[in-house]
Structure 1
Amino acid sequence: MNKKRDAKNKSYYIGLIIIHILLLSMTLTKRKDRKTIFLTLLLIVGFAFHFEYPLYILKAYRYRTGILRTKEKDNSFGSVLSQALFVPSAAIFISAFQLGWKMKILFTFYFVFIERLFLKVKIFKNNWWHTSFTAISICTYFFVSDVCYKGIKKSKKLFSNLTLYHSIHLTYMSLLFSASLFGLFRFTPTSRTTQPWYEHYSFTKVYLVIETVITTFILERKKKWLKVLPLFIIVIVDRVLLKMDRLKVKGSYWLGLFPIRMIAHLLSFQLQRWIKK
């Protein structure tokens, strides 16, 4: 019975994934200003994740994608799909093609319909969240996307700095989220818990905000030797957390988690060069 339910859940979410990948692909292929589009996408995905952080921690709603076996992992994966693909792909489509308020309202109703449908077939659950909150936040998000797109297109310093921060944050988050899904590491902020993944994911979100602020600030300094400092700080903090038993790593830290940290830092360095070019 559970297998049939998971298969049904998967079909809805996979269908939505295909629709929004096609929407994003069309935006990137039909428009020539691909760098502006991609940078705007990174920025608004970052905004979406920051907006969703407290909602996840406060358990506003629950996703049931049926893609991952563990319920809490499945919930966080649904959250990632929503904030990284579903809503941002629609927002960048509207901004890139400079569509007006009518299309914003239309897409808002589209997401409201999706949420109501998912609630009805029980593959999404609202706890204290309400669909009206979804409508207001998504419609607002579309207008924020327009502002970001125009700011990046005009090469405004504020938007350039915000894009750098969110790009680095997304790089760290994507790599660490994937690594933790495969069981390579886990944060344990409390010694006893009945919700290990929930605590790990919640802690990771907050930890990476601080980590990204430090990394972005240091990378913006002119002295080249400072570029290695963020990685050095990260390794020290990781080692302290390991000593405190607040970070658990599968196998050796230097062969498991450290290479991921190194890759994330190198990608961040390259992103800075590309964004500031």
Structure 2
Amino acid sequence: MAYVFEYFVLNIFKMYWYFPKFFKNNWVDSVFGAFMSQSLFVPIAGTMLTLFNKGWKWRVGVSFTYVVVERIFTKLGIYKNRKWSTAYTFTAMPFYFFILSKWWDSVQKGNKMIVYISVFLAYWVNYTNVLYFCLVLFNKYRFRIGLLRDKYWEHFILVPLYTFVSGFIGTLTTLHLNRKVKLAGIAVLHLIDRLLFRYKTIRPSNSLSLFSLIPIHLMVLLIGEYYYSLIRKIK
């Protein structure tokens, strides 16, 4: 859920900016800050509040803590608000924690739609994270169609769309507990990769490097399978 929020607020509208100074490129650096925030710190807090069944006082208290951290980071130059406001953070976070608690209740009750969306979100987040680190560590799989002057801004808009489709296909293969369906899913993902390479949307060094995406698809598929198995045990 945090990634869905971040995609629009950071990737598209650039309402704030991170400056952790781990990478030279500003976009890569900012997205790494977003990764730390939306993949680790905020979801961990939400998970703990949900599992220990904490109410609104705790939600507001934790939100206030994050507001203080945000202000400190702003003073240190690690974070900068543009169109965003700290007041928005303080207002939105308690409701985010509330939604998580209701979502968890629905998972425990076996709500099929919530379970399916949870599996999909697991796929989407893991695909997005893996491709991010492929780019920053190995300079692989940059997405580009040429509509925006800033190639990295365009990349970080396109990648979540690619991983959205990949995550949807992965979810379908997981929900159909059939080996042939899973193999067909991998084949479809590879076909999409080849089409994107042909039309120069994805920029690996050569067509052979597309085959290195297959182990990534398999790895994320295994993670999705494991995640779904945990949810089924909860049900």
Relative to structure 1, the CA distance from residue 267 to residue 106 in structure 2 (aligned partners, 3 Å threshold; closer, same or farther) is: closer
The question of 1:52 aligning with 2:12 is answered no
Relative to structure 1, the CA distance from residue 193 to residue 156 in structure 2 (aligned partners, 3 Å threshold; closer, same or farther) is: closer
Alignment identity in percent? 25
Q: Which amino acid aligns with 2:231?
A: I
Match of 1:238? 193
Match of 1:196? 151
Q: Which amino acid aligns with 1:173?
A: T
Between the aligned partners of 1:264 and 1:223, the Cα distance in structure 2 is: 17
SS across alignment from 2:20: coil
* Aligned partner (choices 130, 136, 140) of residue 184 of structure 1: 140
SS across alignment from 1:62: strand
SS across alignment from 2:145: coil
Match of 1:267? 223
Relative to structure 1, the CA distance from residue 210 to residue 97 in structure 2 (aligned partners, 3 Å threshold; closer, same or farther) is: same
Match of 1:207? 162
CA RMSD of aligned residues (A): 2.0
Aligned length: 230
Match of 1:143? 98
1:270, CA displacement in angstroms? 3.7
Bigger mean CA deviation after superposition, 218-227 or 119-128: 218-227
Between the aligned partners of 1:70 and 1:265, the Cα distance in structure 2 is: 31
1:231-259 CA distance string (max 9 Å, x none):
11111111111111111113532453332
Between the aligned partners of 2:229 and 2:60, the Cα distance in structure 1 is: 37
Bigger mean CA deviation after superposition, 136-145 or 243-252: 243-252
Return 5+ residue gaps in structure 2 as ranges. none
The question of 1:126 aligning with 2:81 is answered yes
Bigger mean CA deviation after superposition, 253-262 or 54-63: 253-262
Query: 1:231·1:265 contact (CA, 8 Å) conserved in 2?
Result: no
1:72, CA displacement in angstroms? 0.8
Between the aligned partners of 2:211 and 2:163, the Cα distance in structure 1 is: 21
TM-score (norm 1): 0.76
Match of 2:204? 249
1:115-170 CA distance string (max 9 Å, x none):
12222222111111111111122111110111122222333333322221111212
Between the aligned partners of 2:211 and 2:193, the Cα distance in structure 1 is: 14
Between the aligned partners of 2:186 and 2:205, the Cα distance in structure 1 is: 20
Query: 1:64·1:123 contact (CA, 8 Å) conserved in 2?
Result: yes
Query: 1:63·1:75 contact (CA, 8 Å) conserved in 2?
Result: yes
Match of 1:226? 181
SS across alignment from 1:95: helix
1:222, CA displacement in angstroms? 5.1
Between the aligned partners of 1:143 and 1:267, the Cα distance in structure 2 is: 27
SS across alignment from 1:67: coil
